[in-house]
Amino acid sequence: MTTSYPGRAQRKQMPSLSASPRARRAAAKRRFEMLLRMLGAVTVLMIVLLPLFWMLASSFKPNIELFQRPPSIFTANPTFEHYVELWEFTSFPRYFLNTFLVAGISCLAGVIISLITVYAITRFEFIAARVFAFGVLIIYMLPPILLALPFFRIWYNLNMLNSLWALGITYLTITLPFSLWILRPYIEAIPQALEEAAMIDGCTRFQAFRKVIVPQAWPGIVASFVFTFVVVWNELLYSLVLISDEAKRTVSLGIASLILETSVYSWGLVNAAGVLATVPVLFLFAFAARQMVSGLGAGAVKG
């Protein structure tokens, strides 16, 4: 039973692995499946991207080509005239500003209020918490068309129709529930011990919230801001109902008006406005993606 052992661990050479026919067949199958999946993805992308592409291409076409049959895909004479016209001869710059303000304020307020609310719900047990969370969900499920008329009455009575503040506050009914539901799992996942550690390290509860909870929930905060921003950015119904003053329009209302209020459709303008309205959203998504993939949060506590 005496075998000889090495004095220290020695690594042997690993024998070279030659692929068996079975392994090769499996690999071929995997490649085929990959191909199918790629095909599926490309199809979906085409369906999704085609309108966007069409809008982009059309926004650079001179007017004649816009109405040409059959339509051309790419124009031979690209032009910026629609963008120039949009910028110089319409109120769109103003609409963009309006929308940024309204969306920015209602989303920021939505995120901040829901952050604090979720924190309270998850950290301090009180009976209202569940009821509250459930109520928010119910409100979120009510279709905006149901709320549009009551809101109209409310702002009318307050003499605040045509107010961007009123519009922003109305949008809170969209942004708040949305943020609440995105943020809740993020905050719940943060171990209480982290805050306690921070409080022992010298933080007040508020400092612990700011220095520990907020960074931990950051991906959720960014996600809820971005998603609500996009929803509000695209929102048409409330602005249609609450805003009639031309100078207070939002971008979506502006685009709709371009179509609704002119007898000759200025497709060039509509397309250019559409492209410009898409750009901030794209930037926001790019920003969000970078903020969110950083994968913070792992390793807070073991296990």
Q: Is 212 in the site for other proteins (CB under 8 A)?
A: yes
- Could you give the 3-state DSSP secondary structure of residue 41? helix
End-to-end distance of the chain based on CA atoms, in angstroms?
A: 43
Q: What whole-number distance in Å separates Cα of residue 291 and Cα of residue 303?
A: 25
| Sole binder of other proteins in the list 198, 242, 251, 269 (CB under 8 A) | 198
For residue 203, state whether it binds other proteins (rule: CB under 8 A). yes
Which one of 116, 201, 247, 290 is in contact with other proteins (CB under 8 A)?
201
Give CA–CA dist 59/1, Å, rounded.
86
Asked if 200 touches other proteins (CB under 8 A), the answer is: yes
C-beta separation of 248 from 98 below 8 A: yes
Residue count at the site for other proteins (CB under 8 A)?
Answer: 26
Q: How many CB atoms lie within 10 A of CB 275?
A: 19
Q: Is 138 in the site for other proteins (CB under 8 A)?
A: no
Q: Which stretch binds other proteins (CB under 8 A): 46-54, 129-137, 142-150, 205-213?
A: 205-213
**Do residues 191 and 123 touch, judged by C-beta distance below 8 A?**
no
Minimum CB separation of residue 112 from other proteins in Å reads 20
* Per-residue b or e along 15-33, where b marks 16 or more CB atoms closer than 10 Å to that residue's CB: eeeeeeeeeeeeeeeeeee
Among 58, 59, 216, 250, binds other proteins (CB under 8 A): 216
Piece of the chain touching other proteins by CB under 8 A; list 12-20, 86-94, 115-123, 188-196:
188-196
**Binders of other proteins among 260-299, rule CB under 8 A?**
296-299
Closest distance of CB 298 from other proteins, Å: 4
d(CA 242, CA 166): 8
Residues that bind other proteins (CB under 8 A): 191, 193-194, 196-204, 207, 211-212, 215-216, 218, 296-303
